[in-house]
């Protein structure tokens, strides 16, 4: 099984990338690739730029990564209640090249933030939006108060949250086994 995971942010210390990587590593015998969105930087999308220059090479490179995945694990950063500008721009470019960019892909949707809501707004936005682009969302999970509830070496520290997380991982494992 090929897993492609990423945190939907340009932050070099992205807590969402850490969560996505942690989730991906819960799958034994998987071929895991954790993407860094900094490797796919793009000019700000406009229809005019698209008409003038076509698609930058990073658009196709990112789409190629998505197309190779059996399971996508995306952890969404929330900026002002929505996607980070970096991810939204990438999403806009790639969805212009292929509207159903997640077509036939299973997906685990995650979010985390330093705050008590754990980026729930952006998670809900994505749960509504991504199926329109072909995603089959297996499960979702939000981790609030990242620095209090997560350590890279230990994972999710809060027992109740860890139990919820384990359930979504099990759901994904079961779905991928069928």
pTM for the structure as a whole: 0.97
Please state the three-class secondary structure of the chain as a single string.
Answer: CEEEEEEECCCCCCHHHHHHHHHHCCCCCCEEEEECHHHHCCCCCCHHHHHHHCCCHHHHHHHHHHHHCCEEEEEECEECCEECHHHHHHHHHHHHHCCCCCCCEEEEEEEECCCCCCCHHHHHHHHHHHHHHCEEEEEEEEECCHHHHEECCCEECCHHHHHHHHHHHHHHHHHHHC
pLDDT digits (tens, 9 = 90+) for 34-87: 999 999 999 999 999 999 999 999 999 999 999 999 999 999 999 999 999 999
pLDDT digits (tens, 9 = 90+) for 92-124: 999 999 999 999 899 999 999 999 999 999 999
Confidence grade of residue 178 (pLDDT, cut at 50, 70, 90): confident
Confidence grade of residue 14 (pLDDT, cut at 50, 70, 90): very high
């Amino acid at each position: 099984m090929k897993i492609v995971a990423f945190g939907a942010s340009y932050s070099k210390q992205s807590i969402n990338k850490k969560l996505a990587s942690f989730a991906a590593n819960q799958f034994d015998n998987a071929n895991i690739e954790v993407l860094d969105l900094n490797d796919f930087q793009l000019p700000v999308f406009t229809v005019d730029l698209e008409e003038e220059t076509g698609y930058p090479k990073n658009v196709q490179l990112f789409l190629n990564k998505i197309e190779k995945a059996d399971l996508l694990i995306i952890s969404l950063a929330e900026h002002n209640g929505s996607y980070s500008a970096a991810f939204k721009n990438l999403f806009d470019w790639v969805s212009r090249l292929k509207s159903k960019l997640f077509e036939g892909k299973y997906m685990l949707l995650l979010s985390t933030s330093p705050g008590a809501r754990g980026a729930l707004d952006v998670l809900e936005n994505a749960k509504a939006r991504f199926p329109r682009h072909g995603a089959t969302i297996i499960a979702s999970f939000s981790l609030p108060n990242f620095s209090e509830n997560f350590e890279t070496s230990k994972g999710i520290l809060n027992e109740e949250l860890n139990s919820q997380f384990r359930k979504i991982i099990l759901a994904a494992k079961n779905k991928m086994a069928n």
